[in-house]
Structure 1
Amino acid sequence: MNRKKLQKQAEALNRSARHFRRPEVECLIRLFHTLVPEAGERRGAAGLDRNAFRSVLHLTFGMTDDMIMDRVFRAFDKDNDSCVSVKEWVEGLSIFLRGTLEEKMKYCFEVYDLNGDGYISREEMFHMLKNSLLKQPTEEDPDEGIKDLVEITLKKMDYDHDGKLSYADFEKAVRDENLLLEAFGPCLPDIKSSMAFEMQAFQETHDL
């Protein structure tokens, strides 16, 4: 990718990915093109497909939960064309790595709202918790324990008592207790892996 094209792209993305400085945006664009070598060559939907993106989540950020990784991919893929474009990559990472609490709450809620209806239902909680909790071989019926956990969670987070979590419920609960941000599975990078990613991705900007 030539320098002029890179600078032009970085300039455009620097406005929408507001948590990165311009040299950092340039680094992320270059990284994107190493992950998708053919992105610059072909027209149409050029970007990271589901498998390539999941492999980044797994290898770089240590994510292992298939359902959550799939939902993170969908949260990045704003136009639903089944691949993450360079714009979606940089804007997504801006929130993923450095987002404000507000931005991260919206992102996590979107990840957890499996059917996109604006609520996290009992069924959705059950699926995610069942997926993310380690199975204990001694448990007779692990599903019962998860159902109990869903009820405890609802009791704590469902402020309007309608049996499901709206964004307003989720936001209030997280503001009261920040640890609830990832209540239904890890969908943000931990500090160690995000620092390692930034050190590697931005090493040429030196002054991090």
Structure 2
Amino acid sequence: MSASLDSALDPMEEIRFRKKNGQMWIEIQKETHFNFDELEQIMVIFFKIQKRDEKPAAFDLISRAHFRDVLHTGLGMTDAYMMERVMVALDRGTSPYVTMATFAKAMSLYLRGDLEERITYAFTCYDLLGEGYLRRETMYQLMKKSISKASRDDDVEEAVKEFVDIMLKRMDLDLDGVINFNDFHKAVVNTPPLLESLGYCLPERPAVYSFLATWCPTWGKM
């Protein structure tokens, strides 16, 4: 993660921050997989990020740009196109800021999320139009963005079409020509590697372990 987050906070400053927000964190904790002590550590990371802004918009906000920096450098999520989808999936809005609650829930998902949560999140990332299902055209757009990075332009068109055909045959369980959430859910439960078949929207396990070892070393093994 950015070196600007490496320095420790002033002890009194950190105490004030914890006392000011402790009650709010009790409510936020209910929507995460963290115990209160773990959530406090996550919120201290949030505070360090916030301090990079000379004039924070509010006490419980950080900029999207700084949050994306955490995902990029701290959790190895480097696909710029998918990052746009990730931001929409996490906060369902267009604000240039990320709230303290959204940050906590995102970290909970990435560090401790179960398969059910990840399925819902991944499907939301892929559902570009918010229709509740994935059309052939949507899948094509997602895959073209992914494959085009590693292939020549004249190879992309055919490769993407073939992949989309394979995915539809594999996931369209009710044979209606689209992949709805139930189709996606059943396919991933039966074959978990299909979770990120349309784009990488979650950190890889080594990145998660590295993040925990660096920023949450007292947590032990997950």
Tell me the TM-score normalised to structure 1 length: 0.88
Task: Give the drift of 1:82.
Answer: 3.3
Aligned to 2:181: 167
1:59 matched to 2:97? The reply is no
In percent, how many aligned pairs have the same letter?
A: 34
Tell me, in whole angstroms, the C-alpha distance in 2 between the residues paired with 1:94 and 1:116.
24
Task: Give the drift of 1:80.
Answer: 4.3
**Is the 1:71–1:114 Cα contact (8 Å) retained in structure 2?**
yes
1:9 matched to 2:39? The reply is no
Task: Give the drift of 1:148.
Answer: 1.2
Tell me, in whole angstroms, the C-alpha distance in 2 between the residues paired with 1:63 and 1:16.
23
| Equivalent position amino acid for 1:81 in 2 | S
For these two proteins, the number of residue pairs brought into alignment is 205
Task: Give the drift of 1:201.
Answer: 2.2
Task: Give the drift of 1:44.
Answer: 5.2
Deviations 1:67-123 (A, max 9, x none): 211111112224543321010100122122211111110000001101111011111
Aligned to 2:150: 135
Deviations 1:181-201 (A, max 9, x none): 111111111111111112222
Tell me, in whole angstroms, the C-alpha distance in 2 between the residues paired with 1:129 and 1:155.
16
Moved more, 185-194 or 140-149: 140-149
**Is the 1:77–1:83 Cα contact (8 Å) retained in structure 2?**
no
**Is the 2:174–2:183 Cα contact (8 Å) retained in structure 1?**
yes
**Is the 2:171–2:179 Cα contact (8 Å) retained in structure 1?**
yes
Tell me, in whole angstroms, the C-alpha distance in 2 between the residues paired with 1:52 and 1:207.
27
1:75 matched to 2:89? The reply is yes
Where does 1:12-51 land on structure 2 (aligned, <5 Å)?
12-17=27-32, 19-37=33-51, 47-51=61-65
Q: Which runs of 5+ in 1 are unaligned?
A: none
Task: Give the drift of 1:24.
Answer: 1.0
**Structure 1 residues 45 and 117: alpha-carbon distance in aligned structure 2, compared to 1, 3 A threshold:** farther
Q: Which runs of 5+ in 2 are unaligned?
A: 1-13
Tell me, in whole angstroms, the C-alpha distance in 2 between the residues paired with 1:206 and 1:177.
30
Tell me, in whole angstroms, the C-alpha distance in 2 between the residues paired with 1:84 and 1:186.
21
Tell me, in whole angstroms, the C-alpha distance in 2 between the residues paired with 1:40 and 1:164.
47
Tell me, in whole angstroms, the C-alpha distance in 1 between the residues paired with 2:62 and 2:146.
25
Task: Give the drift of 1:207.
Answer: 5.1
Tell me, in whole angstroms, the C-alpha distance in 2 between the residues paired with 1:40 and 1:24.
27
| Equivalent position amino acid for 1:91 in 2 | K
**Is the 1:126–1:147 Cα contact (8 Å) retained in structure 2?**
yes
Question: Tell me, what secondary structure is at the counterpart of 1:16?
Answer: coil
**Is the 2:63–2:98 Cα contact (8 Å) retained in structure 1?**
yes
Tell me, in whole angstroms, the C-alpha distance in 1 between the residues paired with 2:100 and 2:157.
41
1:109 matched to 2:157? The reply is no
CA RMSD between the two structures? 2.3
**Structure 1 residues 190 and 91: alpha-carbon distance in aligned structure 2, compared to 1, 3 A threshold:** same
Question: Tell me, what secondary structure is at the counterpart of 1:140?
Answer: helix
Aligned to 2:10: none
Tell me the TM-score normalised to structure 2 length: 0.83
Tell me, in whole angstroms, the C-alpha distance in 2 between the residues paired with 1:86 and 1:72.
17
| Equivalent position amino acid for 1:59 in 2 | T
